């Protein structure tokens, strides 16, 4: 059975943003992060978007049920259109992973693969201190990307919480939250070593996608 949903897992700084961006460019996948899905709904002023806007505006947190609802809606639309979907930042917890399996009921859950980009903690700290984020779409770039503007045209800035103490805390939080999600996927989890230049990481990702029978779209080249 072909894979239609890739759950991208990786600590902050593991290069998830770069991998997702290249999958979008080279494989034509739909890339959904919780952040961009929420922003989209707000921009579209959909019923859910207005709900989200109210919650965020009053300083509240968007709960799991609402996030699940937004993911499901976008997922169904994309899968109906035959797209491969990359989920980034979702599921963040085991209950969300279970909710995703329910969305893919009727044997479709076997079409979900979790792809973890594995990088040693000390390498993550070094990378994060050099990281830039787009003010417009939230995509992130590392020093190795050598870019000054986002592919969407947005300005890139350093994140306030990329200092070493906050970074260490975020990595701990990630590990505590995400390890159970990775474990949840069991036989559906594939690991890719995230060390080295983005090109090397992408070669490993490409080999994995080939194995999963996800084909590159045309003769698209990775941006240098
Ligand atoms: Zn951007």
Cα dihedral 189/64/14/137 (nearest 10): 130
- Indicate the number of domains in the chain: 1
What are the C-alpha distances in Å from 223 to residues 22, 23, 151, 152, 201? Answer: 8, 11, 11, 14, 14
Q: Separation of 156 CA from ligand 1 center, angstroms?
A: 8
pLDDT at 223: 44
Whether 170 is a known active-site residue: answer yes
Whether 136 is a known active-site residue: answer no
17 part of a folded domain: yes
- Bridge pairing between strands 156-158 and 132-134: antiparallel
Q: Separation of 65 CA from ligand 1 center, angstroms?
A: 27
Considering the candidates 39, 51, 136, 159, report the single residue annotated as catalytic: 159
Whether 159 is a known active-site residue: answer yes
Considering the candidates 51, 92, 109, 188, report the single residue annotated as catalytic: 92
pLDDT at 34: 87
58 part of a folded domain: yes
Whether 131 is a known active-site residue: answer yes
Low-confidence residues in the chain, pLDDT < 50: 219-224
Residue ranges making up the domain that contains 201: 5-120+176-211
64 part of a folded domain: yes
137 part of a folded domain: no
| Residues 162-218 pLDDT 10s | 777 888 888 898 889 889 999 999 999 999 999 988 889 999 999 999 988 888 875
Nearest CA among 213, 200, 153 for reference residue 22: 200
pLDDT at 112: 95
Q: Separation of 158 CA from ligand 1 center, angstroms?
A: 13
pLDDT at 1: 61
70 part of a folded domain: yes
pLDDT at 219: 45
138 part of a folded domain: no
Cα 148 to Cα 29: distance, rounded to the nearest angstrom = 24
Whether 30 is a known active-site residue: answer no
pLDDT at 2: 80
Considering the candidates 170, 203, 204, 216, report the single residue annotated as catalytic: 170
Q: Separation of 7 CA from ligand 1 center, angstroms?
A: 21
- Both tokens assigned to 212: 């999963």
25 part of a folded domain: yes
Q: Separation of 25 CA from ligand 1 center, angstroms?
A: 14
168 part of a folded domain: no
CATH number for the domain that contains residue 13: 3.40.50.300
pLDDT at 221: 47
Q: Separation of 135 CA from ligand 1 center, angstroms?
A: 7
């Amino acid at each position: 059975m072909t894979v239609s949903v890739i759950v991208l897992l990786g600590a902050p700084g593991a290069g998830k943003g770069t991998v997702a961006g290249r999958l979008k460019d080279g494989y034509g996948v739909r890339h959904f992060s919780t952040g961009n899905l929420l922003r989209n709904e707000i921009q579209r002023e959909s019923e859910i978007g207005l709900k989200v806007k109210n919650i965020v505006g009053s300083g509240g947190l968007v709960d799991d049920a609402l996030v699940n609802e937004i993911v499901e809606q976008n997922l169904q639309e994309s899968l109906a259109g035959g797209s491969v979907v990359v989920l980034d930042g979702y599921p963040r917890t085991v209950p969300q992973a279970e909710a995703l399996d329910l969305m893919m009921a009727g044997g479709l859950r076997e079409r979900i693969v979790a792809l973890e980009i594995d990088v040693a903690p000390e390498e993550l700290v070094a990378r994060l201190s050099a990281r830039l984020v787009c003010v417009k779409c939230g995509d992130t770039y590392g020093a190795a990307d050598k870019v000054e503007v986002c592919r969407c045209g947005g300005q890139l800035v350093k994140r306030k919480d990329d200092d070493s103490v906050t970074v260490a805390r975020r990595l701990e939080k990630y590990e505590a939250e995400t390890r159970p999600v990775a474990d949840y996927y069991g036989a559906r989890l594939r690991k890719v070593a995230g060390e080295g230049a983005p090109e090397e990481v992408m070669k490993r990702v490409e080999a994995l996608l080939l194995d999963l029978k996800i084909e590159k779209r045309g003769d698209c080249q990775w941006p240098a």
